[in-house]
Amino acid sequence: MTNNYKDLDSDNNAIDYMSKLEELNEEYSLVIAKKNQLIDDLLEINKTLSISSTAFNCGLGMMVVGVNNIIQAVNPAFIRITGYSEAEAVGQTPIQLNAGMHDKGFYVNILKSLNSEGYWEGSVSNLFKNGEIYDKYLSISSVYDIDGVMTHYVAMFVNVLKVLSDFTNLAFYDELTNLPNRRLFIDRINQVFVNCKRTNKKGALLFVDVDFFKNINDTLGHKVGDLCLKLVADRLVGSVRECDTVARYGGDEFVILIDNLSIDPLRASVEANQVVDKLVNRLSKPYSIGGQTHIITVSIGATLFNGEELDVNQIIGQADFAMFEAKKNGRNHHKFFDKNMRETVTIQGSSRIDFFIGIEQKQFRLFYQVQVDNNDNVFGAEALVRWMHPERSLLLPDKFISLLDEPCLGEWILNEACMQLNRWENSSLTRDLTLSVNISAKQFHQVNFVEQVKATVRKHCINPRLLILEFKECALVDNIEFVVASMNILKAFGIKFDLNNFGIGYSSLLYLTKLPLDHIKIDLSFVHNLTANNEDDLIVKTISAMAGSLGVSVIAEGVETETQKQILKNNGCQRYQGFLFGKPEPIAEFERVHFKADRL
């Protein structure tokens, strides 16, 4: 009996123990929950403090003012804007900032707004520490504690004149050189136009382009490139009068606006020439950059105006055109816009409008000129563009040569050529024919050119080894690393390459050894006057020998006689193109003549 009572007591003790253990677990869980909540609260407070710290150190002037009107804290921007140090501001009242420009009622209204709405903003005149008056845009917020009691005010402000000045600089001045930008320049040239009309005096516009600036960026880095532009800008400013305007038009292009030249056109031209000569002399002197000496040259285009005959855009276009003419002469040159250029621009201007209409209306066609080997076997053709102009009939490329480098035309030619290769691959007579397509420098240096070629080849499902991209040397000399990398990618894809007009361009062996070429085309100027034992014969022989050492074959273009072909063959040429074998023809005629077939 007694033992039974003992067992019952033991059971009761166990129940009490388990009950207390459960209570302790509940209390422990509450403690853990409170601890986690405390950690979350601390993290949130820390986040808030971090945000507050970031805001407090922003570019806006800030001060914290107690309800007793005593400054409790200021931020670095407050010190920078007002001139008062933290020690001079904290513990004082904001009255020391008062410029006396507002009456008592102004400040009473601010206080009423803070008490009723908790916020006020507006323009206020204040004093710098040095006593100067400035306008600031001020916003004040009331801050309350958890019980809803106002504890202090936070004021934020900016110097209105400084903001306007910064905005003006951003809007009208180039950040790198601090020269007027294009927007301000256009405004200035309009003012000069008005002055020219009023005084009958002439003005001049100079378009200045830094030669090979892309190479400077690519080889020396953008920091050196930026420094070069700054140094060029300084020399430009130092070469003209204070009344003249030097502006950065964009990239490596500058414009100079010269005002108040002579009324007499001849005298004005002499005065403008004197400015150009001074510029060329000053800019051509060596530059010291990073302890090294660099030579930087420029190409300059210039035009005179009197403010009446043309608008601003036409004047800029004339100077720009003259600059490109200077570049064509090998750079480091200057050209004045003249009558002949004016006629060219007029023709090209109207042609340009017609050109884009022609692209849209599919007025362009590809003609094909046959290419043969030593046994007169046809191995391929070159695709040559023609313009079926609705008013001017069939136009050869020399009639729209300035438009040949337009990427939209290049894309159309590439697409048409690949479409034709696809047709040829479906016939046993033509499935092995190659097709050469001319690629302009502008088209090749497009960022997406490589992918564009690959996509076009895939689109038409052609063998890439049958497509040959043909370049002139001028397309390859700029940014050689980019050129080689792009060509190697396409070479791995299967595309082949021809170097056109060889012998009349840059012809550097250094870059030729880097390029993954398949063929070199001897320029027709060496073929036309080719006779045995003359100078052109020696040139052809040298080119053939060099091509052989590079592992590439030679194609001669412009072959018109059997004598020319035989001399070329004797000097190592393996392939030919010219009127002796066939003129450029529409596709139907090309296939009829060379494959005895209508459209394949």
Q: What is the DSSP string of 356-406?
A: HHHHHTT-EEEEEEEEEETT--EEEEEEEEEEEETTTEEE-GGGSGGGTT-
Assign 448 to helix, strand or coil.
coil
Between 598 and 182, the more confident residue is 182
In a domain, 478, yes or no: yes
The domain total for the chain is 4
With a cut of 70, say whether residue 23 has pLDDT above it: no
Place of tokens 């980019």: 482
Q: Alpha carbon of 409 to those of 354, 388, 404, 471: distances in Å?
A: 13, 14, 7, 15
With a cut of 80, say whether residue 45 has pLDDT above it: no
Confidence of residue 367 (pLDDT cuts 50, 70, 90): very high
Distance in angstroms (rounded) separating the CA atoms of residues 493 and 464: 7
Confidence of residue 404 (pLDDT cuts 50, 70, 90): confident
Is the Cβ–Cβ distance between 317 and 206 less than 8 Å?
A: no
With a cut of 80, say whether residue 209 has pLDDT above it: yes
Closest to 566 (Cα-Cα) out of 524, 517, 527: 527
Distance in angstroms (rounded) separating the CA atoms of residues 120 and 136: 14
In a domain, 344, yes or no: no
Q: What is the pLDDT of residue 6?
A: 46
With a cut of 50, say whether residue 46 has pLDDT above it: no
With a cut of 80, say whether residue 165 has pLDDT above it: no
**Most confident listed range (215-224, 331-340, 361-370, 525-534):** 361-370
In terms of domains, do 67 and 143 share one?
Answer: yes
In a domain, 285, yes or no: yes
Angle at 115 between CA 109 and CA 118, to 5 degrees: 100
Instruction: Print the domain residue range for 468.
Output: 351-595
pLDDT digits (tens, 9 = 90+) for 212-266: 787 777 677 888 888 889 999 999 998 888 888 999 988 888 999 998 888 888 8
Between 359 and 291, the more confident residue is 359
Question: 106-110, 189-193, 218-222, 416-420 — which is least confidently predicted?
Answer: 218-222
Q: What letter represents residue 528's amino acid?
A: H
In a domain, 90, yes or no: yes
- To the nearest whole number, what is the mean pLDDT of the chain? 80
> And the tokens for 401?
């040569």
Show Cβ contacts of residue 207 under 8 Å, excluding neighbours closer than 6 positions: 249, 253, 254, 255, 300, 301, 302, 316, 319, 320, 322, 323
pLDDT digits (tens, 9 = 90+) for 469-526: 998 766 666 667 788 889 999 999 999 999 887 765 444 555 677 789 999 888 787 7
With a cut of 70, say whether residue 38 has pLDDT above it: no
In terms of domains, do 49 and 70 share one?
Answer: no
Length of the chain: 600
Q: What is the pLDDT of residue 129?
A: 82
Phi, psi angle pair for 435, to nearest 5°: -135, 125
In terms of domains, do 437 and 486 share one?
Answer: yes
Assign 252 to helix, strand or coil.
coil
Angle at 358 between CA 357 and CA 361, to 5 degrees: 85
In terms of domains, do 212 and 144 share one?
Answer: no
Q: What is the pTM (predicted TM-score) of this model?
A: 0.48
> And the tokens for 58?
């922003």
Show Cβ contacts of residue 163 under 8 Å, excluding neighbours closer than 6 positions: 137
> And the tokens for 442?
């502008």
CATH of the domain at 67: 3.30.450.20
Of the candidates 283, 305, 337, which is a domain's last residue? 337
In a domain, 600, yes or no: no
Closest to 439 (Cα-Cα) out of 424, 452, 430, 429: 452
CATH of the domain at 283: 3.30.70.270
Q: What is the pLDDT of residue 582?
A: 93
* 228: Cα separation from own chain's centroid: 18
In a domain, 231, yes or no: yes
Distance in angstroms (rounded) separating the CA atoms of residues 322 and 208: 10
In terms of domains, do 147 and 205 share one?
Answer: no
In terms of domains, do 389 and 489 share one?
Answer: yes
In terms of phi and psi (left: phi > 0; alpha: psi -120 to 50; beta: otherwise), the region of 97 is alpha
Confidence of residue 548 (pLDDT cuts 50, 70, 90): confident
> And the tokens for 357?
């209409």
In terms of domains, do 320 and 375 share one?
Answer: no
In terms of domains, do 220 and 114 share one?
Answer: no
Angle at 370 between CA 412 and CA 417, to 5 degrees: 20
In percent, the amount of the chain with pLDDT more than 70 equals 80
In a domain, 388, yes or no: yes
Show Cβ contacts of residue 126 under 8 Å, excluding neighbours closer than 6 positions: 82, 97, 98, 99, 133, 134, 135, 136
Confidence of residue 170 (pLDDT cuts 50, 70, 90): low
Closest to 159 (Cα-Cα) out of 193, 132, 189, 199: 132
Of the candidates 337, 359, 378, which is a domain's last residue? 337
Assign 544 to helix, strand or coil.
helix
> And the tokens for 81?
């804007």
With a cut of 60, say whether residue 39 has pLDDT above it: no
With a cut of 80, say whether residue 400 has pLDDT above it: no
Of the candidates 337, 368, 397, which is a domain's last residue? 337
Assign 177 to helix, strand or coil.
coil
Beta strands in 32-149 (DSSP E): 61-66, 71-74, 119-127, 133-144
Q: Where are the alpha helices (DSSP H) in 142-181?
A: 160-172
Distance in angstroms (rounded) separating the CA atoms of residues 148 and 442: 69
Assign 151 to helix, strand or coil.
strand
Confidence of residue 581 (pLDDT cuts 50, 70, 90): very high
Question: 125-129, 236-240, 455-459 — which is least confidently predicted?
Answer: 125-129
Distance in angstroms (rounded) separating the CA atoms of residues 152 and 169: 37
> And the tokens for 82?
């007002």
Q: Alpha carbon of 293 to those of 32, 210, 283, 285, 296: distances in Å?
A: 71, 17, 14, 10, 10
In terms of domains, do 506 and 574 share one?
Answer: yes
In terms of domains, do 331 and 357 share one?
Answer: no
For 233, counting Cβ atoms within 10 Å of its Cβ (0-12 exposed, 13-18 middle, 19+ buried), the class is buried
Is the Cβ–Cβ distance between 578 and 558 less than 8 Å?
A: yes
In terms of domains, do 291 and 204 share one?
Answer: yes
Q: What letter represents residue 16's amino acid?
A: D
> And the tokens for 520?
């070199």
Q: What is the pLDDT of residue 152?
A: 85
With a cut of 60, say whether residue 52 has pLDDT above it: no
In a domain, 170, yes or no: no
In terms of domains, do 182 and 212 share one?
Answer: yes
Is the Cβ–Cβ distance between 338 and 301 less than 8 Å?
A: no
